[in-house]
Amino acid sequence: MFRPKLPDTPHVPSITTHIPHDHAPAASAGRSVAPFVGVGAGAVAAVVVVGVVLTALLAAVAVSAVSVAIAAVVLRSLITGANRR
């Protein structure tokens, strides 16, 4: 439904040429860049996932530290109050 309708292209016959083994063309002439784009996208996704995980761990450590500090203040006030009685 949401895909565009492309016109049919006529079949173009391919031209095959003989390339001697000692005169090879440049390395990038016949290669596609699609695998390299896929590797780059995968690397970016991995970096994003690692960043999210590290941020979540840092947030968990911060919340734990705040809760321990609050517990320490409460316990200190309870102990100090018990000594005054």
Q: What pLDDT does 55 receive?
A: 97
pLDDT value, residue 47: 92
Which pLDDT value is given to residue 13?
66
pLDDT value for 5: 76
Say what the pLDDT of residue 30 is: 61
Neighbour tally for 52: CB within 10 Å: 10
Using 50 as the pLDDT threshold, list the residues of the chain that sit under it.
Answer: 24
- State the Cα–Cα distance between residues 59 and 54, nearest whole angstrom: 9
